[in-house]
Chain A
Amino acid sequence: MASDTVMTRAPAAAQATGSEPVRPLLEAADLVKHFPIKSGLLGRSNAVVRAVDGVTFSLYPGETLGIVGESGCGKSTTARVLMNLIKPDSGNVLLNGRAPGTPELSLKAFRSQVQMVFQDSYASLNPRLTVEDSIAYGPTVHGVSGSDAVRRARRLLDRVGLDPRRFAGRYPHELSGGQRQRVNIARALALEPKVIILDEAVSALDKSVEAQVLNLLLDLKEEIGLTYIFISHDLEVVRFIANRVMVMYLGRVAEIGPTDALYTGGRHPYTTALLGSMLSMDPDERTMEAPLAGDPPNPIDPPPGCRFHTRCSFAESVCSAKTPVLTVSGTGHFTACHMVDPGSGHSKAAA
């Protein structure tokens, strides 16, 4: 199974960023989440969407792990499973080696350490609470006294660049998108978490404001020692902010590795195609052909074997017959492709 390969080799990934093997902060082991499609009068389900289908990775303290892939590849479902917002069908999530929702790590304690910022800055705030109350809400639930929680909220507002004297009493609709996203970041910080999952957190912002929020995230990470999972469709932004990048395709991990290695020497044909679709910004070097034909197949009935084989120009018979597992393709770099796996039977693989 793909999971075993990575679990045993995972410490190697840490060596890419640090000197000695570091224990992962957050681990996802063989996560599976299928959504049943209900139809007919009795609401019987006769098909499932394989949103996340065997995803395994580790998150190391202090790093930023970028997750990229097309819509429907399972990025956001992975984030929600990690957060315990939805329960996986199988597989598990471990924080410092402990599973949330067990006696050794209650769900409440887990949530205080893993927080999330969503794409829609407006929908993720309660419109009837002032931003100060929104930020103070979490700490109050976790037993901080009301006045201490408000003090903490004001300090955090100041920290994310919003003067508490001007902004504390405002409601979400009185703020711009960039300001609201700062409030969401302050709220995520209010429980002093170790990990923040940012799901397309800057995607809805105007470019001039996006840069400010990215800089803020970098400052906070260095000062507080945070660890990020940064999910985005913007490959430029991910390259800028992430230390490691995980490429997902139709519910599975296609490739994971250090950002530079992946962007300059991605080994999975899907990674190459995905990165090849980045635009050049050069009027004399316009894109002349599409690096990838067609749309991703339907996740209800994904292709057998390697899920990318239907769009891959290197596909051979082994690709539709056998599912590739994540195989070491460099330092801390793993690729799920038969061409990388020696002895897979693919003509381009080393024998």
Chain B
Amino acid sequence: MNTMSDPILDIRGLTVTFGGGPKPVRALDGVDLALGRGEVIALLGESGSGKSVTLRSILRLHPPKRSRIEGSIKVEGIDVTSLEGRALESFRGKTVSMVFQEPMLAMDPVYTVGQQITEAVRNHEKISAADARARALEMLTLVRIPSPARRLAAHPHGMSGGMRQRAMTALALASKPRILRADEPTTALHAPVQVPILLLLRELQRELGLSMIFVTHDISVAVEVADRIAVMYAGRIVETGTVRDVIRTPRHPYTIGLLSTRAHGGRLEGHRLPAIPGSPPDLANLPPGCAFAPRCAIAADACRASVPEPIDLGSGHRVRCFRTAETVNKVAALAPAATS
């Protein structure tokens, strides 16, 4: 898969600052991200890490008056930051589409699923209402909704959580986008409902050759769907690489902490989880150096003085850390978590 020479999405030095509050909040700071054609990247991070801000920046969904966006976002060579009016509207949905976490909030409660998909299709293509309805039916079939013809007339509230997420996916795919962005699409779902949705997204991605950015806070979900993982912390990508590299040989202390802090397997008496101390920093008062330094067990003076630049460890495994010499073979407890 030689895709990186011509990425479908290329983000360089993206910095997003929100005003409006007492102090400007730097939500993203120098994010570089390239998405290859047909590739799936998982953006992994906690609340406030900047993963959703990155996702929204790609569609220019931030309020223009209260946000300052620096850097460049190119989709198929077109600079998104310069799009205006009609061009921006057609770009949204047509080129890049989105699956949200809460389909109940993302869909309109007073229209049927069929009406919503039909409307989305006709906004982007000049086709007859009948053809658009046929497309809606085709989409519901594609996302494997049982008795799709009947579901066209269903309202969102009349469907179960898993079914709604499928309908949401159908809606996102109806205008045949090339990039699909998914914002925690399975977070609101319980495990037994989550698995079929993950399988569906993975299959559709492969069948349709979609490029996908998948935002999640759950590493195990990222492992299921992604080719590459980008770990975010306090508005920066701190580690990125193939799923195998990031999971098996993580090199950033934060990634290592996240992986070892996961509860899995039974607990022996007196055993405790290796927790990362402290809590994520306030984005309005970031420390001058590495944002993770105050919580990091191996932070040195250099870490508190300046922000580390990404270091390439080979095969696209990049880490923003001064102390990578100390983080070789540091990951603990990575035995598969399945019931053994």
Contact = CB atoms under 8 A, between A and B. Distances in A.
18 contacts: A71-B161, A207-B219, A207-B258, A208-B280, A209-B279, A210-B261, A214-B263, A236-B337, A240-B265, A241-B263, A278-B338, A281-B223, A281-B337, A282-B247, A286-B223, A286-B224, A287-B199, A288-B199
B258 A295 contact: no
Interface of A: 70-71, 176-179, 206-212, 214-215, 218-219, 233, 235-237, 239-241, 259-260, 263-264, 273-293, 295
Given A209-B279, A295-B160, A278 B337 contact: yes
Interface stretch (B65-73, B114-122, B135-143, B189-197): B189-197
B199 A239 contact: no
B317 to A, nearest CB: 14
A241 B269 CA distance: 10
B340 interface: yes
Given A287-B198, A287-B199, A287-B224, A207 B338 contact: no
B223 A218 contact: no
Nearest to A210: B261
B63 interface: no
Nearest to B188: A71
B304 to A, nearest CB: 20
Interface string B78-122: 000000000000000000000000000000000000000000000
A323 to B, nearest CB: 22
Interface in B9-44: none
A280 B198 CA distance: 13
Given A70-B193, A212-B275, A233-B191, A281 B334 contact: yes
Most buried by A among B195, B277, B280, B336: B195
B47 interface: yes
A246 B289 CA distance: 47
A287 B336 CA distance: 12
B276 interface: yes
A208 B48 CA distance: 13
Given A275-B339, A289-B199, A239 B265 contact: yes
A178 B224 CA distance: 28
Contacts of A235: 191
Contact of A287 (B195, B257, B273): B195
Nearest to B233: A208
Contact of B276 (A211, A214, A295): A211
B57 to A, nearest CB: 22
Contact of A236 (B192, B263, B275): B263
A263 B334 CA distance: 19
Nearest to B282: A176
Contacts of B279: 176, 178-179, 206, 208-209
B274 interface: yes
B238 to A, nearest CB: 13
Nearest to B276: A208
B150 interface: no
Identify the interface centre among A178, A236, A287: most chain B CB within 10 Å of its CB: A287
A280 B337 CA distance: 5
Nearest to A290: B196
Nearest to B270: A222
A179 B223 CA distance: 30
B220 interface: yes
B192 A70 contact: yes
Contacts of A282: 223, 247, 336
Contacts of B190: 70-71, 233
A105 B299 CA distance: 55
B162 interface: yes
Given A178-B279, A215-B272, A291-B195, A208 B266 contact: no
B249 to A, nearest CB: 12
Given A207-B217, A211-B274, A214-B273, A279 B337 contact: yes
A214 B163 CA distance: 33
B275 A283 contact: no
B247 A260 contact: no
Interface in B227-276: 243-244, 247, 257-258, 261-267, 272-276
A224 to B, nearest CB: 16
A84 B94 CA distance: 53
A56 to B, nearest CB: 24
Given A71-B161, A281-B247, A208 B257 contact: yes
A37 to B, nearest CB: 14
B201 interface: no
A112 B275 CA distance: 31
Given A233-B190, A287-B199, A281 B219 contact: yes
A218 B268 CA distance: 12
Contacts of A241: 263, 267
B163 A263 contact: no
B171 interface: no
